[in-house]
Structure 1
Amino acid sequence: MLYTIFRAFFRLFFTVFYRWEVRGLERIPDREGVVICCNHISNLDPPLLGSAMHRPVRFMAKEELFRIPVLSFLIRKFGAFPVQRGSADKRAIKKALSILKQGEVLGVFPEGTRSKTGKLGEAHTGASFIALKGEGQVVPAAIVGPYRLFRKVTIIFGHPLDLSEYRGQKWTSQSLKEVTDRIMGEIDSLLEESRREPS
């Protein structure tokens, strides 16, 4: 119930203050477990991504945010769960895999932190591991900013990636990097596509 209220609020917020545009929603599978992998340019990215979709989205969020009483309550209600950055947080990974196994949507920012320049940064392989291990579909997404009041912000969802060649095998650091590079390459293609459009 609260998730629906928050989503409605943010949809109004982004419509009024950022003239948001959402593209490619039809590319997101309706039922199965999905990992949405998106670039990260602002603290507003999670509510933008979550409110853009018709399906509820669960997010990994840095554990420091869960130490702030009111904020912790709000982000938990908006589907977030804590992760320790800079380490292989087994509890967070287990939670993420559970979300996919239940056929839900997981939102991940593979870069792990916001880009200060707006350009894609170096991505971690955690999202690739979770997607393969949890047998979830991977949908790349690109947020085209910057966030400026009354200027348009666009979110573009790409087509699900075919990762069948990597499934059912033992993954190495190299194969996980290959999957990660494919994901980030698709995100970059979505960003490049938006750059070529007339302003």
Structure 2
Amino acid sequence: MRNFWYNVIRSIFNIFTYGLLGMRVYGEENIPKRGPFILASNHASNFDPPLIGTAMKHHLIHFMAKEELFHNPVMRWFLRYIQTFPVHRGHIDRMAIKESFHILQMGGVLGIFPQGTRVRPGNLGRFHEGMAAIALKSRTVVLPTAIIGSWDLPKKTGPLLVVFGKPIIPDTAGTDKQAIQVFNDKVKRAIADLIDQYGGSRYEGN
């Protein structure tokens, strides 16, 4: 029964994203056939998770989402139903970290927005350490992902794209601050290049 209702929800999102918004998806060949892997994306809109979720047709993404979204009981039930889990921002959330490693150990797909909040197109801003630290410690592949055109949604002002880049494999097992910064920058550059390549705002630095 759970699979039935999940498929119903996905079908509704498909109608909205592909039918009404005209979303286009590129780079599907870069998506690993199976998990575990971490999906890391820029973040400009509350619509970003369902856009990515429907763009990735053959995987269920376990998104890490801000804890404030879980205050409403109906929203909390829905988010939990689609396998989204909360993270408390502003400090190290050990429960969220534990959940992240559990998802990866089970062969799942972990979805993270490294910016930590929505950022206006044109500047990717600062990437928090969580994504890189989890990837390095677990030795998990990261799939850089770019969302272009979601800032003004639900008003559509131009092409709406989801682009999956080539997976990035952690090349070190170190988790010191320098290793985290280097890996963060590598993923950030990959996302910026996707945005630039597919017609979005050019990366402008930190």
SS of aligned partner of 1:195: coil
Deviation at 1:150, TM superposition (A): 7.6
Q: Does 1:96 align with 2:100?
A: yes
Single out whichever of 29-38 and 109-118 deviates more from structure 2. Answer: 109-118
TM-score normalised by the chain length of structure 2:
0.88
Instruction: Measure the CA separation in 1 of the matches of 2:166 and 2:15.
Output: 27
Single out whichever of 126-135 and 142-151 deviates more from structure 2. Answer: 142-151
SS of aligned partner of 2:123: coil
Instruction: Measure the CA separation in 1 of the matches of 2:83 and 2:123.
Output: 27
Paired AA for residue 111 in structure 2:
G
Single out whichever of 142-151 and 185-194 deviates more from structure 2. Answer: 142-151
- Of 13, 25, 28, which aligns to 2:28? 25
**Structure 2 unmatched ranges of 5 or more:** 201-206
Cα 1:79–1:118, aligned 2, differ >3 Å: closer, same or farther?
farther
Deviation at 1:6, TM superposition (A): 1.8
Residue correspondence of structure 1 range 54-73 to structure 2 within 5 A: 54-73=58-77
TM-score normalised by the chain length of structure 1:
0.91
Deviation at 1:67, TM superposition (A): 1.0
SS of aligned partner of 1:106: strand
SS of aligned partner of 2:198: helix
Single out whichever of 1-10 and 145-154 deviates more from structure 2. Answer: 145-154
Counterpart of 2:162 in structure 1 is 155
- Of 2, 7, 16, which aligns to 1:4? 7
Residue correspondence of structure 1 range 1-199 to structure 2 within 5 A: 1=3, 2-53=5-56, 54-146=58-150, 147=153, 148-149=155-156, 151-164=158-171, 166-167=172-173, 170-195=174-199
Instruction: Measure the CA separation in 1 of the matches of 2:16 and 2:159.
Output: 12
Cα 1:119–1:6, aligned 2, differ >3 Å: closer, same or farther?
farther
Deviation at 1:3, TM superposition (A): 2.8
Paired AA for residue 149 in structure 2:
G
Instruction: Measure the CA separation in 2 of the matches of 1:151 and 1:116.
Output: 15
Equivalenced residues, count: 193
Paired AA for residue 107 in structure 2:
G
Deviation at 1:152, TM superposition (A): 2.8
Instruction: Measure the CA separation in 1 of the matches of 2:23 and 2:43.
Output: 16
Deviation at 1:151, TM superposition (A): 4.2
Instruction: Measure the CA separation in 2 of the matches of 1:109 and 1:43.
Output: 11
Deviation at 1:134, TM superposition (A): 2.3
Deviation at 1:18, TM superposition (A): 1.3
**What's the CA shift string for 1:143-188, capped at 9, x where partnerless?**
0114333843100000011322x13xx3211110110010000000
Superposition misfits of 4+ residues, deviation over 4 angstroms: none
Single out whichever of 110-119 and 95-104 deviates more from structure 2. Answer: 110-119
Instruction: Measure the CA separation in 2 of the matches of 1:184 and 1:132.
Output: 15
